[in-house]
Amino acid sequence: MENPAADPYPLSPRHVVVTARDYPDGELFPAHAHRRGQFAYADRGVISVHTGAGNWVVPPQRAIWVPSGLTHSMRMQGPVTLLNTYVRASAARRLGLPVHCQVFDVSPLLRQLLHKAVSIPARYADDSRDGHLMGLLLYEIADMPALSLNAPLPAEPRLARVCRDLLAQPSLDVGIDDMAARAGMSRRTFTRLFRHYTGISYLEWRQQACLLAAVVRLGHGEPVTRVAMELGYSSPSAFSTVFRRVLGASPSRYFSGGL
């Protein structure tokens, strides 16, 4: 159950409410769920989200959608300014928002709308300027492109165990044969089951797991070269190519705020 004193959205009859709060590095919200969907925008800092289905990382000026009723935990990586948009389940369904966690890009227009929406009272009139602004905010959220910043956890217990181990110490040096042996499977069985349970190949999953770790470490201010080499990339430029493909800018430019 949410605390109305901390956030006004449980008391609001409106489809969408936006709040803002600052959090210290390392603050953890243990497993919990919301009655409304949560579009959590990291205005500053990095967020890590965990569910039974996998891990997600949200870089600065990006957001994650957490559907209503989904049990999840959230950790702040560095000082975080979080703008939360809480959306009624009926509105989320109408807009076609996903029924699973998803990291999204955030357009300049959506950033401006979020910052403006924070000052709008929870009981705004639907047919007022505030109401129309909040309606536009919802449509802009639904229009955002998805980002591949998650590592799904397979339901198969042996695969889940070795995947959790790799998430704890991610590296591109851990090959298919290594993972298959750790899971007690043949290479062929491992690759077949991995794709069946996650929808992607192990090599794709490993790349995403390493990128998640890189975003967290870069958000803490670690040098790009050190992060790239310790995660097993052949060179900083190879790492930057992957990073740019997912987030649209090189690591140094992205984390220097030069977007």
| 48: three-class secondary structure by DSSP | strand
Which residue range is the domain that position 175 belongs to? 150-255
- Indicate which CATH number applies to the domain containing 249: 1.10.10.60
Is residue 9's pLDDT more than 80? no
Q: Point out the domain boundary residue: 147, 180, 202.
A: 147
> Residue 194: which residues within 8 A CB-CB, separation 6 or more?
154, 159, 201, 202, 205
Percent of the chain with pLDDT over 90: 85
The average pLDDT across 223-241 equals: 95
Tens digits of per-residue pLDDT, 17-65? 999 999 999 999 999 999 999 999 999 999 999 999 999 999 999 999 9
Return the amino acid letter for 212. Answer: L
Look-up of token digits 């060179």: 235
Contact 226, 191 (CB under 8 A): no
83 and 163 in one domain? Answer: no
Task: Name the residue type at position 97.
Answer: L
pLDDT of 3 > 50? The answer is no
The model's pTM is 0.89
| 3 belongs to a structural domain | no
pLDDT band at 5 (very low <50, low <70, confident <90, very high): very low
For residues 180 and 218, what is the distance between their CA atoms, to the nearest angstrom?
Answer: 30
Q: Residue 229: count other Cβ atoms within 10 Å of its Cβ.
A: 14
Q: What is the pLDDT of residue 254?
A: 86
Residue 4, in any domain of the structure: no
| Residues 136, 57 within the same domain | yes
Each residue's pLDDT tens digit, 109-140: 999 999 999 999 888 888 999 999 999 999 99
Note the pLDDT of residue 74.
96
Does the pLDDT at position 2 exceed 90?
Answer: no
Residues 6+ positions from 210 with CB-CB distance below 8 Å: 170, 171, 172, 231, 232, 233
**176 pLDDT above the threshold of 50:** yes
Torsion of CA 172, 178, 183, 184, to 10 degrees: 170
Are residues 14 and 142 located together in one domain of the fold? Answer: yes
Q: Which of 12-16, 36-40, 41-45, 245-249 has the lowest mean pLDDT?
A: 12-16
